[in-house]
Amino acid sequence: MEWDTPYGLPPFNKIEEKHYLPALEAGIKEQEAEIEAIVNDTAAPTFENTIAAYEKSGALLNKVSLVLFNLSESDASESLQKLMEQVLPMISEHSDNIFMNVKLFNRVDVIYNQQDKLDLTIEQKMVLDKMHRRFIRNGIGLDAQKQARLREINKQLSALEQKFGNNLLAETNAFQLIIDKEADLAGLPEAVRTAAAEAAKEAGMEGKWLFGLQKPSWVPFMQYSERRDLREKMFKAYAMRGNNDNANDNKKIVLDIMKLRIEKANMMGFDTPANFILDETMAKNSKTVNEFLAKIFVPAVAKAKKERAEMQQIIDREKGGFKLAAWDWDFYAEKLRQEKYALNEDAIKPYFQMENVRAGVFAVASKLYGLKFEKLDSVPTYHTDVETFKITDADGSLIGLFYTDYYPRTSKRGGAWMSNFRESHVVDGKEIRPIVVNVGNFTKPTATTPSLLTLDEVETMFHEFGHALHGLLTKCNYLSVSGTNVARDFVELPSQVLENWAFEPEVLAMYAKHYKTGEVIPADLVAKIQQTATFNQGFMTTELVAASILDMNWHDLTSVEGIDVNTFEKEQMAKIGLIEEIIPRYRTTYFNHIFNSGYSAGYYSYLWAEVLDKDAFELFKEKGIFDPETAKAFRKNILEKGGSDDPMKLYKQFRGAEPNPEAMIKGRGL
């Protein structure tokens, strides 16, 4: 039914699990009829009656699946996960029915081949090209037998990828470190203890302390716990997720996924999944990516070795009598930071109350782009943690609606992301404004303190809102190129560029206020935050590049015959010279980005886009970080354009030149 809610927001208070399946089935039927109408149109194929008509089709299916997909990631029950396992193959089959429809392709092909004679806009050309490519990449040129096999592969992949994610969530939730003696909490700050006591109470273990593998619990434990044996236990539990030979083991799933991805790439005429996937990106092939990553890995691991040596000195000075291990890194890095900069992260957190940081993110967007934010309290949401905002432009026109959902729960997968409940596009001349969500797993409030964020969480909030701006400010007419529907290695530019504002002194003065006194963060703390910007970057860059290389190694395979997942990972990491004190940011069995989140052969894109973002921010620094002209150029050429033009062309229109990669290496202090 039509959603009779303010701004057409989903009526979460009325949607029940039993509604999804019939609604999806109705949506599929409706789109099938719309496709039939396009195919059976007796008029000669035109952009309007074929491409635009397709873009307009599937509105109901889109509406329903966006709600379902979002909730299956951020608030999934067991029954919802089971429903997803049933639904994904259905949607995969429906998509194949469209993009293996010869009659529909023939119409698209006619338009594609005569596009030079047509008066198409740049955006329309991009939409046409994207649709034509989608048919080709979906096997329209294959014979019937191969198409049938490809359909089977697509169905199996959608089910396996969902299973990978479900297993990972179950593994993350399954581990609990229960502490019943206060002495075992040595080194842990008061706020961390309080949160652990509340977690234990919630789990029916009042009087104890409970730690888990969600980042707000795991990170401070690894950073501050003086109990080396418990750090080792926590570290291994985290690093072995999906790798415990139990019901949630992901090793066989990884091999099954890769076997199918290789077969699919081969069917499409590519030697590896990496080259098939990268054909649609700025990088174009795995050779380019591998060379790019190798260039960063060398200085990164060199810096990490220096960091390791400095931490070993502390251990030796304290007569520890052991060699630094992976579970010691965070603990001794924290000691080193305090020693070098007299900066204790716990002393900074009171200045980063979640609500204040969010107000700071909004203030930056307001100063750059003239946006206004209004909190809406009486609209339905899917969870009590979710808050809703209406965003308007400087002239008062509606930009879109925005949800924030920032705290961890067992029904939510780990990490942080941006998504849409509705994407911006134009239908029959009417502009449909987007509904965007930012999801995180930040430190929760306790009974005595509000949510106080770590520097990393602050940066993540800015990052995800950068994605949100891409989805909110887009001015595209067609869904397929709207907002974040861009090349995978371009999508991280708007998110990463916004991180650059987070700790600028001028910006900190706007939002970093002590949660008790309201006092603005003192200048000496700001100076320390600035000084530590490149602290531990050897470690951070190394683990990030190692994960990117691991992703490429999996997707560069031509066969998984005889491969053992753990041995393969170990050999690949030894080959590049990863030091044993560092593991990849994501090990294979919990690498959700590449096995369940659309970043396959794409994890490198965070670093790729960082080359763009650091280069872009250099311009802001030259002109002033809130320079109206530069902000206007970034909005007009990057944020509003979505995927409606070639990414490098858009970047050069903004910057006036190709990016200089030096800015990134410099930015990381390498």
Asked if residue 569 lies in contact with residue 254, where contact means CB atoms within 8 angstroms, the answer is no
Which residues are known to be catalytic?
464
Number of domains in the chain: 2
Residues 40 and 133 placed together within one structural domain of the fold: yes
Neighbours of 464 (CB within 10 A): 24
Same domain membership, residue 112 and residue 205: no
Integer Cα distance of 95 and 91 in angstroms:
6
- Mean pLDDT is lowest, of 75-79, 96-100, 340-344, for 340-344
Question: Using an 8 Å Cβ cutoff, are 104 and 35 in contact?
Answer: yes
Structure tokens at 473: 């400010």
Read off the pLDDT of residues 101-139 as tens digits, 9 standing for 90 and up: 999 999 999 999 999 999 999 999 999 999 999 999 999
Phi-psi region of 428 (alpha: psi -120 to 50; beta: other; left: phi over 0): left
How far apart (Å, rounded) are the C-alpha atoms in residues 282 and 489?
6
Same domain flag for 16 and 131: yes
Q: Is the pLDDT of residue 144 over 90?
A: yes
CATH code of the domain containing 115: 1.20.1050.40
* Judgement on whether residues 190 and 130 belong to the same structural domain of the protein: no
Residue-wise pLDDT for 550-563, tens only, equals: 999 999 999 999 99
> Do residue 120 and residue 201 come from a single domain?
no
At which of 79, 110, 137 does a domain end? Answer: 137
pLDDT at 142: 98
Element (H, E) at 591: none
125 & 186 share domain = no
Amino acid at position 243, single letter: N
Q: Show which of 221, 239, 257 is a domain's final residue.
A: 239
What is the C-alpha to C-alpha distance for residues 135 and 475, in angstroms, rounded to an integer? Answer: 26
Same domain, 26 and 117: yes
pLDDT digits 0-9 by tens, 329-339: 999 999 999 99
In angstroms, how far apart are the furthest CA atoms of the chain? 85
For residue 658, the tally of other CB atoms under 10 A from its CB is 12
Judged against a pLDDT cut of 90, whether residue 666 lies above it is answered with: no
Instruction: Answer whether residue 449 is part of any domain.
Output: no
Q: For residue 38, tell me if it sits in a domain.
A: yes
DSSP single-letter state for residue 520: B
Q: What pLDDT sits at residue 96? A: 98
Rg, the chain, Cα only: 25
Please give the torsion angle defined by the CA atoms of residues 156, 161, 165 and 168, in that order, rounded to the nearest 10 degrees: 90
Task: Give pLDDT tens digits for 177-189.
Answer: 999 999 999 999 9
Q: What are phi and psi of 585, to 5 degrees?
A: -50, -35
What is the domain extent for residue 32?
6-99+101-137
Contact between 212 and 220 under an 8 Å Cβ cutoff? The reply is: no
End-to-end CA distance of the chain: 56
Closest CA to 605 of 668, 551, 536, 644: 551
CA distance 183 to 181: 5
Whether residues 123 and 229 fall in one domain:
no
pLDDT at 344: 86
**Residues 212 and 132 grouped into a single domain:** no
